Chain A
Amino acid sequence: MPDNTVIKKSSIKKSRRWSVAIRLIVALLLIAFAIFPVLWMISASFDNSNSLATQSLIPANAGIANYKRLFNKDPNFSFGEIKYWQWLLNSIKVSGISTILSLSITTMAAFAFSRLRFKGRVSILKSILLIQAFPNLLSLVATFALVSNFGNIVSAIGLNTHAGLIMVYMGGSMGMNIWLMKGYLDTIPRAIDESGMLDGASPFEIFWHLLLPLLRPILFVVSILSFIGTYGDFLLARVLLNDSSKYTLMVGLQIFTAGQFDKKWGVFAAGALIGAVPIMLIYFFLQDQIVGGLTAGSVKG
């Protein structure tokens, strides 16, 4: 009997070792699948030949020529109007402003829904949920017409303006952010409000001095995620902006595919890499918080 169990134990150990080995090999294959396009992008960006057809994983003539071309420092290369820094700046501006304004507005609204009791509260919350079932992406044509009409009334908020785009982003994010922030506010115990009320604080003081400091960490994560989401948007920016100096980075990168993509491949890769790295770093630094946010129900957009 004792012999038997020893044999069994060692065979379990042995089969486990095999299983780990196989799984490590599978992991290697999966990692290759996951990171190959990224390696390919990096290698393309340092391949001076700037051509899709001749690129290899280890560039034959490595250098930074593509980066020079991207910043218009190469007189021999010209393709349309590359305004890379301008695009990046536009993206940061549009995403930053719409994130900050949207979260300020929605956090205040969420406070009312979470802490105040008034007639119509539940109906409004339900209506917001219902409206969220129809993302504003679907009324694309109407949104385009609306912003175009705005431009005919006051040109500063019409088509081809960042203000118009920011307002559309804000409008689209309201419902979801109100729900998200209300959810976080609901987790803060009411006892905190009550202690403030006993001291005679007004609702605004309770919001500003007691709740907001507690919300700060989650507000930070939500604003990062919201910023990344807006930064990565393509469709609305593509529809509402039509001047290359107004483009956001994602729209700017897309115009590389017009005409002969394979002849601008390296320059595109350089631009793509610079646009991707900051977002990748944010993800890795905030990995745990983001995973927490994901299971709260947000889907990457």
Chain B
Amino acid sequence: MALADKPKDAHSIAESQLSKIIRVVFMIAFNAGALWFIYQAYSKGFYQIAILLGIIVVFFDVIFSLKKGYPFRWMAFGLAFMLVFVIYPIFFTLYIDFTNYGDGHLLTKEQALVQIENATYLPATGKSYDWTAFKSDNGEYALWLTDRSTGETFLAKPDEEIQATKPGDPGVGEADAKGVPQSIEGYTRLNTLLAAADKQLPNIKFGLAGEEGLSTVQVRSPNEAAELQIRYLYDKEADTLTDQETGRVYYDKEGIFTSTDGRTVQPGFRANIGWKNFINFFTSPALRGPIVRILIWNFIFPLISVVSTFALGVSIAIMYNEKDFPLKKLIRTLLLIPYTIPSVITILIWRGMLNSEFGVINRILNAVIGTAPRWTTEPIWAQIAVLIVNLWLGFPYMMLITSGALQSIPTDMYEAATIDGANSWQKFRSITLPLLLVAVGPLLIASYVFNFNNFGLIYLFIGGGPAIVGASTQAGHTDILISYIYKLAFESGGRGVQYGLASAISVVLFILVGAMTLFQYRFTNMWEEVSENA
């Protein structure tokens, strides 16, 4: 009996004048804004984003103009946000794992070519000028140029088109004996000695480059300035760069233009390298070894965490389950405290408490038993420390969900078991535990998945350390895949960020986590429920 089932549904109720106006105004505003953004994205070379936004604009326009689209208007923004920030990044991850995106290859090829084509050189011969320098009060330079062959005069400033100018023009003073103006408005003329000694001057490119027929001029010697030449010519057909100065030819080799004798042209760009990120895993032991270790730990760590927190949580729930247990409410409230503090904060507190040298835990251990483990430098102790902290963080949650589920177990089952002569342990084994597992099973899987990606704990507590010896990347003994990805992409420790490799590992993580979550859906019949509710 949903609204739209009725013959007199939403659409047959005449849309009020006001809501029609609101709808039209919204559509105009949305289209204007989105099209402007798409234009910006397109003109700056972000074609993927332009297409993505284009899809959203078409979707919005269709559903807001057709009557049939009415239900979708309710969810338009929700779906748009999911498309841009969830679905697109998944596909983008799938794309960049086949590239060498990372340090040295950060730009797209188009962006890199724009930079490469901006490069110039000062030819040994070519158009040359006599020059006189001017400097403004705020340190900007201008050059007065006289073409040696034609005698034409120009005024050149950085990043502005070079203008043919004559002495006496507006803003330009009268000529002196050499034909150079005495003054230029806003600038002071530098005398020849001062100009020759100026260290900045030879590095400044005067004029505007890039457009057809325009070029920049640079000071070459105290009495000569020369026109700069575009250094590289890009041949689109052959996909090669030719150095105009040396004649050397560069070929696109995995995202960097490289000559046959091994020279390269910077910057590099993102290039498709096929399965190389994955193949590296099999061919490089220094890469594979640590990743296999991380993967194994990634499965063990959440398993022990879930089992230990569940065990403690259930024990507490059962121990203080009786209605008339003294101080029950107070005990529960105090035991809940670890759950109520943002975990970033408590993880950092534990980091201080488990500090090997100064931490309170080790000070106590040293005082009582005379020795204490080095939590941050010994791999096995680091792993144990992570598990202890996670037990502390996680048991109150398990206590909450299991004590809720305990209430729902009918008491007559226990009475029947008592009559049959079962002891407490048998009752727990054959009644409590199975029924609890059915009730909270999906939450346990969710908890496993959560800990499988528990970046906060691993990174904030110990940074994934201690480092694995001999690893070619920043890999540590407590690292899990997500923290390893983070380090590859954002904290390379001077080894260069590797977005491509990080994305390849993300894809592996996608598959693992996806499989686990789908398993959880099966467990809860969530999938079937959707179909039934239709």
Contact = CB atoms under 8 A, between A and B. Distances in A.
Nearest to A281: B340
A235 B460 CA distance: 10
Contacts of B327: 24, 27
Contacts of B86: 131, 134, 136, 139, 171-172, 174-175
Interface in B317-359: 319-320, 325-327, 331, 333-346, 348-353, 355, 357-359
Given A133-B517, A268-B348, A254 B460 contact: yes
B420 interface: no
A128 B296 CA distance: 30
A105 B337 contact: no
B343 A232 contact: yes
Contact of B530 (A105, A112, A126, A170): A126
A73 interface: no
Contact of A262 (B16, B92, B352, B531): B352
Contacts of B506: 138-142
B343 A297 contact: no
Nearest to A193: B3
A129 B3 contact: no
Interface in A134-177: 134-146, 149-150, 152-154, 167-168, 170-172, 174-175
A82 interface: no
Interface in A12-39: 20, 23-24, 26-27, 30-31, 33-35, 37-38
Residue of A115, A116, A137, A284 most packed against chain B (CB within 10 A):
A116
A206 B6 CA distance: 15
A142 B270 CA distance: 14
A283 B517 CA distance: 28
Contacts of B482: 137-138, 140
Contact of B3 (A20, A106, A136, A197): A197
Interface string A190-207: 100110010010111010
Contacts of B358: 51-53, 262
B513 A297 contact: no
B82 A174 contact: yes
Interface string A253-294: 110110001100100110010011001100110010001001
Contacts of B346: 37-38, 276
A41 B169 CA distance: 75
Given A41-B349, A275-B345, A280-B340, A109 B75 contact: yes
Interface residues of A, number: 108
Contacts of B77: 105, 108-109
B456 interface: yes
Contacts of A132: 517
B188 interface: no
Interface string B69-81: 0111011011101
Contacts of B456: 234-235
A52 B357 CA distance: 9
Interface in B30-85: 37, 40-41, 44, 46, 49, 70-72, 74-75, 77-79, 81-82, 84-85
B453 interface: yes
Given A203-B3, A239-B490, A261 B355 contact: yes
A216 interface: no
A231 B89 contact: no
A20 B75 CA distance: 55
Contacts of A299: 397, 443, 446-447, 450
A202 B10 contact: yes
A295 B490 CA distance: 36
B226 interface: no
B90 interface: yes
B502 interface: yes
B357 A53 contact: yes
A178 B1 contact: no
A141 B37 contact: no
A41 to B, nearest CB: 5
A152 B46 contact: yes
B82 A131 contact: yes
Interface stretch (A3-11, A61-69, A117-125): A117-125
A153 B40 contact: yes
A137 B453 contact: yes
A73 to B, nearest CB: 22
Residue of A130, A133, A143, A297 most packed against chain B (CB within 10 A):
A133
A83 B344 CA distance: 18
B503 A141 contact: yes
B336 A175 contact: no
Interface in A189-239: 190, 193-194, 197, 200, 202-204, 206, 228, 231-232, 234-235, 239
Contacts of B10: 116, 202-203
Contacts of A268: 348, 352
A152 B10 CA distance: 43
Given A20-B326, A131-B86, A279-B341, A35 B334 contact: yes
A154 B2 contact: no
A48 interface: no
Given A124-B79, A170-B81, A190-B2, 20 more contacts: A33-B392, A38-B341, A124-B75, A132-B517, A133-B513, A134-B514, A135-B453, A136-B85, A138-B509, A149-B49, A152-B44, A153-B40, A174-B86, A203-B3, A206-B3, A250-B344, A254-B344, A268-B352, A280-B341, A291-B400
17 contacts: A38-B349, A52-B352, A53-B357, A108-B77, A112-B74, A116-B2, A117-B71, A121-B534, A133-B514, A136-B85, A139-B510, A141-B489, A141-B502, A146-B89, A170-B81, A299-B450, A300-B343
Interface of A: 20, 23-24, 26-27, 30-31, 33-35, 37-38, 40-41, 44, 51-53, 55, 105-106, 108-109, 111-113, 115-118, 121-122, 124-126, 128-146, 149-150, 152-154, 167-168, 170-172, 174-175, 178, 186, 190, 193-194, 197, 200, 202-204, 206, 228, 231-232, 234-235, 239, 250, 253-254, 256-257, 261-262, 265, 268-269, 272, 275-276, 279-280, 283-284, 287, 291, 294-295, 297, 299-301
